[in-house]
Amino acid sequence: MNITLSVDEQVAEKARTAAAAMGKSLNQAVRDYLVQLAGAQQLQADLDAFEASALNSPGRLQGWRFDREEANRRA
């Protein structure tokens, strides 16, 4: 897919210079950013699903809290 962007000339030149410093063309840097952006949305969806699963897990501690004294008590 081709995308057309409107960017200030100075911004484009600075971005082109920054991309070149990374060994990339400006086009490749924009593609990489879009891939990262799309992946970030998927990551957030995965994290939300994990959190929901963990909160609904039957293995919850149901209010139990770690007690340092109990853990260090000698038999």
Q: What is the pLDDT of residues 19-51, one digit of tens each?
A: 999 999 999 999 999 988 888 888 888 999 999
User: Average of pLDDT values for 6-17?
Assistant: 96
DSSP 8-state assignment for residue 28: H
First CA to last CA distance, the chain: 69
In a domain, 46, yes or no: yes
Question: Is residue 68 one of the residues assigned to a domain?
Answer: no
In a domain, 16, yes or no: no
| 20: in domain | no
Residue 5 in domain: no
- pTM of this prediction exceeds 0.95: no
What domain count does the chain have? Answer: 1
Q: Which domain holds residue 44?
A: 32-56
Tokens read off for 32: 């990489």
